[in-house]
């Protein structure tokens, strides 16, 4: 069984970070076989921006190979498998042909060279590690619901029909205690997992107590069924399945799933995806953005990190990316600490309107865009590069977004 991050079970389940020394911000990686921490230095600090310490089991066992019991088991398994195949007289070419005929998914085909050990036999351990497991769509269908605290919060700001459209597009579900399920469905409509989170229905802020800690659907299924005991999760972007539905729309990328949903209601001319967290924006996950036009909306305090990532992703994936500093510019010192993001920015603008009018179900207006544009127009505008100009020619709606939210072009 693979190691996992310690779930939240109250204040005692969070510890002092070995890097920044902050108390109750560090969670251990747990050995799934013993239920104990692998090592008190192996874990992740919740202060991703201020600290960012993350020492994974893979790195720990790489540094301490003599302690890796999993590697020892893997070595024994490989020798047993190889021995069995050798005794049966299976030749290399016969095995390879059989393997190709099984038509494994594209990722497995790409890594065929790693799936045969030195003796020329199939390395089943490598195959199991590289495969991507999926969840039956019936879980998504049965969980679909408007009865979550997150959806209840949306009713404070948006009309019913807009909320229904968002719930349908993202297949939002609900779990016990009115927690929301943000399903990760890839661009081939495979269900990777579901992220279960709790929100305050009045403030829209995430609840982090014992009943509000993040949980995952694949973890729940693993506990209920031995078939999923070795479930191999490969995450994708939240909302990724919408890329095929809207091939001509530009893409807006944010960190949180909540922000993507609110962004989709506020600016429906874009496909809103969520990376899941600060480090969720990666090259492998971004391969689905090949030849797409993408706008990044990093959280406050994360602009520089996402701007650096943007350069690598746009170069390796061959997509056109721009990054917005609108959240960075508007965040106060306290909001930086609180994790101010694009959703907070939108809600803040909506709160600037008439309270009575906003409380009416059909009185929603997508913020005062004229005032936002006026505020941003005070900054000197630069001439767009030829790459950006091509984006604007292909997607005129990008001009509106750039003017509204102060997008800044970062040249590679």
Pair type for strands 293-296 and 251-254 = parallel
Q: pLDDT digit of tens for each residue in the chain (412 aa)?
A: 678 888 887 788 899 999 888 898 899 999 888 889 999 999 999 887 777 788 888 888 888 877 765 555 544 434 433 333 333 333 333 433 443 444 344 444 444 444 444 445 555 445 444 578 899 999 999 999 999 999 999 999 999 999 999 999 999 999 999 999 999 999 999 999 999 999 999 999 999 775 557 899 998 888 887 777 778 889 999 999 999 999 989 999 999 999 999 999 999 999 999 999 999 999 999 999 999 999 999 999 999 999 999 999 999 998 999 999 899 888 888 888 888 999 999 999 888 743 433 333 443 444 443 443 344 333 444 566 666 666 666 666 666 666 655 555 555 4
The pair of structure tokens assigned to 358 is: 């906003």
Pair type for strands 43-45 and 54-55 = antiparallel
Residue 179 CB burial class (10 angstroms; 0-12, 13-18, ≥19): buried
pLDDT for 128: 47
pLDDT for 356: 36
pLDDT for 295: 94
Starting at the edge strand that comes first in sequence, how are the strands of the sheet with 251-254 ordered?
Answer: 271-274, 251-254, 293-296, 320-324, 407-408
DSSP H helices in 91-136: 92-101, 106-110, 124-130
Nearest Cα neighbor of 343 from 238, 265, 242 is 265
pLDDT for 400: 62
Cα–Cα dist 377/346, whole Å: 18
Cα–Cα dist 194/401, whole Å: 30
Q: Say how many Å lie between the first and final Cα of the chain, rounded.
A: 42
pLDDT for 335: 87
Cα–Cα dist 74/124, whole Å: 10
Cα–Cα dist 329/351, whole Å: 19
Nearest Cα neighbor of 388 from 402, 409, 405 is 409
- In the block, tokens 């390796």 appear at 316
Cα–Cα dist 99/114, whole Å: 13
User: Angle at CA 335, nearest 5°, toward 333 and 336?
Assistant: 65
Half-sphere exposure of 254 (CA within 13 A, CB side): 24
pLDDT for 77: 39
> Which residue ranges form the domains of the chain, and what is each CATH number?
4-67 (no CATH), 81-130 (no CATH), 132-236 (no CATH), 244-412 (3.40.50)
- In the block, tokens 């990008």 appear at 398
Do residues 141 and 331 lie in contact, with contact meaning Cβ atoms separated by under 8 Å?
Answer: no
DSSP H helices in 225-324: 242-245, 257-266, 303-317
Nearest Cα neighbor of 298 from 252, 242, 246, 251 is 252
Strand partners, 183: 194
């Amino acid at each position: 069984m693979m190691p996992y991050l310690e779930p939240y079970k109250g204040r005692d389940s969070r510890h002092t970070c070995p890097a920044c020394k902050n108390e109750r911000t560090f969670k251990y990686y747990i050995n799934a076989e013993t239920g104990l921490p692998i090592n008190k230095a192996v874990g992740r600090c919740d202060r991703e921006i201020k600290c960012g310490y993350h020492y994974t089991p893979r790195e720990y066992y790489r540094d301490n190979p003599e302690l890796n019991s999993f590697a020892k088991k893997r070595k024994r398994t490989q020798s047993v498998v190889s021995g069995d195949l050798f005794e049966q007289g299976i030749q290399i070419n016969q095995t390879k042909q059989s393997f190709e005929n099984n038509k494994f998914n594209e990722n497995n085909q790409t890594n065929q060279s790693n799936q045969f050990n030195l003796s020329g036999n199939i390395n089943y351990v490598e195959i199991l590690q590289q495969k991507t497991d999926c969840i039956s769509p019936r879980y998504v269908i049965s969980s679909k619901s408007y009865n979550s605290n997150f959806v209840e919060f949306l009713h404070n700001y948006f009309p019913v029909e807009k909320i229904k459209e968002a719930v349908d597009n993202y297949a939002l579900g609900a779990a016990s205690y009115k927690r929301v399920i943000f399903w990760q469905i890839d661009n081939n409509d495979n269900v990777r997992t579901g992220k279960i989170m709790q929100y305050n229905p009045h403030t829209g802020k995430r609840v982090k107590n014992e009943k509000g800690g993040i949980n995952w659907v694949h973890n729940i299924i693993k506990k209920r069924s031995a078939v999923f005991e070795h479930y191999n999760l490969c995450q994708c972007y939240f909302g990724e399945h919408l890329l095929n539905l809207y091939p001509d729309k530009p893409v807006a990328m944010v960190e949180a799933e909540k922000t993507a949903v609110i962004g989709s209601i506020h600016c429906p001319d874009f496909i809103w995806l969520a990376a899941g967290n600060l480090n969720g924006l990666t090259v492998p996950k971004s391969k689905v953005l090949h030849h797409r036009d993408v706008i990044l909306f990093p959280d406050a305090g994360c602009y520089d990190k996402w701007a650096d990532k943007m350069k690598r992703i746009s170069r390796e994936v061959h997509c056109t990316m721009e990054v917005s500093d609108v959240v960075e510019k508007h965040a106060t010192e306290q909001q930086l600490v609180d994790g101010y993001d694009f959703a907070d920015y939108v809600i803040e603008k909506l709160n600037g309107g008439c309270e009575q009018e906003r409380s009416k179900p059909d009185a929603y207006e997508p913020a005062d865009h004229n005032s936002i544009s006026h505020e941003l127009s005070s900054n000197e505008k630069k001439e767009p590069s030829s790459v950006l100009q091509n984006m604007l020619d292909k997607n005129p709606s990008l001009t509106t977004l750039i003017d509204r939210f102060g997008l800044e072009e970062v040249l590679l």
